[in-house]
Amino acid sequence: MLPEGRVVLFQIPAAPLGIPTAWDGHFYGRNGSSIVALSLQEIEQIRSQVMKKDWSADICHSATVHDLEPDAIIKARTEYKKKFPRLADEVDSWDDLAFLNKARVTVQGEITNAALILLGKPEAEHFIQPVVAKMSWILKDKDNIEQDYDHFGPPFILNSELLFSKLRNLKYRYMPDNSLFPIEVNQYDAYVIREALHNCIAHQDYEKQGRINIVEKPDELIFTNLGSFIPQSIAAVIERDSPPEYYRNRFLAEAMVNLNMIDTIGSGIKRMFFTQKRRFFPLPDYDLSDPNKVQVRIIGKILDENYTRMLINHTDLDLSTVILLDKVQKRERIKPEEVKRLRSQRLIEGKYPVIYVAAQIAALTGDKTAYIKNRAFDKEFYKSMVIKFLQQYKSADRQEIDNLLISKLSDTLDETQKRKKINNLLFEMSKKDGTIVNMGSSKRPKWVLT
């Protein structure tokens, strides 16, 4: 009660996250000073708030700093000093909670889910249940049969290094042009492995209650984490110069940046591509076909010597061009406009979609034999071979004609495509040219000259 009259105060709680508030079955919102019905788009925006909730920033109220691994905190301090060298002298004067607050791993001394994942003791994992925080390393042979495995839980800041030590990183040798001495490198660059693994940790959808998997096969590593790829395409990440607007685990990702586990948010993937380009190795493969999973493949060997020698001799090629040529060497189909772009630079040859390194590049790299194997001869060349064979041996069955031509066809064609090409050639010679005729049956042909 006031002298002017009675005052009634309404305390209105925040709406439940992701649930529009209704009155008498209708949803309302504010438009300026007016109350209006919510549009369908506004209702969907409210409902999508649940998807955008950052689980990694949630507080575990029953957890304390004693549930964090002391060795992990020491490691965190060391990496924080590397990331922020100007603060190195101050860091030692901070107690653990002050340090964790400044590193943005905790919030006002409260232990977050991110803190438990990165620094938590193994026995503290129960605080985040039913969420699963596990990384699994699986070793497979060339037949995809499991040979060995190991599982790693928190603290991830330490155990990601233990997992890294499991990976076999053998020496790989290749011979550059005009040199008697081979180049010797590791199969995998340490930065690329580190970035791929830590990206899995940063972007895993932990509420899906699955594991992060690292599968090691001969000459390749496959990293898998659950959750959609938020930028939607690798092209968007490579071309964009700024970080994305939304992160699944923003709090966790920013903590990992502060602890020197990942690069400034948004730049790590692009740097992985540049690193592989500088090493003259195939670029990382991102499989985004499953909307609930991201898979990254790192290849630890040379797939196409033409591609590698071309990168050695043409270090000025921009990344977007190298990405397209990497797809060409992996026999992945690229768009017609991309083919046109590469043709304009005289980097590829062949009939779309079967394309390969152009003669100019092959000549520059000294790999002319590979070019000849890839390049298709003129159709008349193959016809003349068949005619000369029949002139000498009078007749030929299909097996003899296959033996005659298959080794001469382009190596960019597989076995089925080669046989189909021979089918078309024989059809044209018999039905259109009239130079040969089948004196046998369709199942057992016997070709002779007309």
Interval 48-59: pLDDT, tens: 666 567 899 999
Looking at residues 373-396, what average pLDDT do you find?
82
Torsion angles phi and psi, residue 34, rounded to 5: -105, 155
Looking at residues 115-124, what average pLDDT do you find?
96
Looking at residues 444-450, what average pLDDT do you find?
93
Within a domain: residue 416?
A: yes
Q: Which of 117-131, 267-281, 379-393 is the most confident on average?
A: 117-131
Residue-level pLDDT at 244? 64
Q: Examine the domain organization and report whether 182 and 270 are in the same domain.
A: yes
- Pairwise CA distance, residues 55 & 248, whole Å: 8
Q: Examine the domain organization and report whether 350 and 418 are in the same domain.
A: no
3-state secondary structure of 195: helix
Residue-level pLDDT at 409? 82
Task: From 173, 378, 186, 201, select the one nearest 294 (Cα to Cα).
Answer: 201
Residue-level pLDDT at 366? 46
Do residues 295 and 223 make contact, with C-beta atoms less than 8 angstroms apart? yes
Looking at residues 230-257, what average pLDDT do you find?
80
Q: Above pLDDT 70, what percent of the chain? A: 89
Q: Which of 13-27, 223-237, 277-291 is the most confident on average?
A: 277-291
Q: Examine the domain organization and report whether 152 and 271 are in the same domain.
A: yes
Amino acid at 20: P
Within a domain: residue 312?
A: no
Parent domain of 28 = 1-53
In the chain the first and final C-alpha atoms are separated, in Å, by 116
Q: Which residue has the higher pLDDT, 140 or 415?
A: 140
- Residue 364 pLDDT more than 60? no
- Written as one string, the DSSP assignment of 164-188 is HHHS---EEEE--TT-SS-EEEESS
Sign of the dihedral defined by the CA atoms of residues 169, 308, 326, 247, in that order: positive
Average predicted confidence (pLDDT) for the chain: 86
Within a domain: residue 439?
A: yes
Q: Examine the domain organization and report whether 186 and 94 are in the same domain.
A: yes
- Pairwise CA distance, residues 357 & 385, whole Å: 27
Within a domain: residue 310?
A: no
How many structural domains comprise the chain? 4
Q: Examine the domain organization and report whether 369 and 386 are in the same domain.
A: no
Q: Examine the domain organization and report whether 292 and 329 are in the same domain.
A: no
Residue-level pLDDT at 334? 87
Residue-level pLDDT at 264? 67
Residue-level pLDDT at 148? 95
Residue-level pLDDT at 15? 73
- Residue 367 pLDDT more than 70? no
- Residue 365 pLDDT more than 50? no
Q: Which residue has the higher pLDDT, 377 or 30?
A: 30
Q: Examine the domain organization and report whether 65 and 47 are in the same domain.
A: no
Looking at residues 212-222, what average pLDDT do you find?
96
